[in-house]
Amino acid sequence: MMRCFMAGAVALATLAASTAMAQSTPAVVYCVNNRIMVERATMSQMQSGRGSSEICIIGPSFDFQPDGVTWGRQNLRSDVGGSCRCR
């Protein structure tokens, strides 16, 4: 019984640690191919796999992705997927 409890505790701790690591990358407001995106990815991650896509950062970074969506609505007056332009 004790071994089962310990194995469960270790599994839970591992899951919590991986979730915390995923949350450590801030959510950033990007313009990708003239569309607004809020992603938890660095600029280099955004560029890899997108070929010659036009990508720029058009807003601040946020700890919580929904805050980036709200910022876009309030400051860009558009939802994710709305139009934008890199200058």
The answer as to whether 80 is a domain residue is yes
pLDDT the model gives residue 53: 85
Number of domains in the chain: 1
24-34 burial string, b = 16+ CB within 10 Å, else e? eebbbbbbbee
The answer as to whether 14 is a domain residue is no
Which domain does 52 fall in, by range?
25-87
The answer as to whether 20 is a domain residue is no
What's the pLDDT tens digit per position in 11-39? 444 444 444 445 688 999 999 999 999 99
The answer as to whether 84 is a domain residue is yes
What's the pLDDT tens digit per position in 39-81? 999 999 998 878 778 999 999 999 999 999 999 999 999 999 9
pLDDT the model gives residue 54: 92
pLDDT the model gives residue 49: 75
Residue of higher predicted confidence among 4 and 54: 54
pLDDT the model gives residue 1: 55
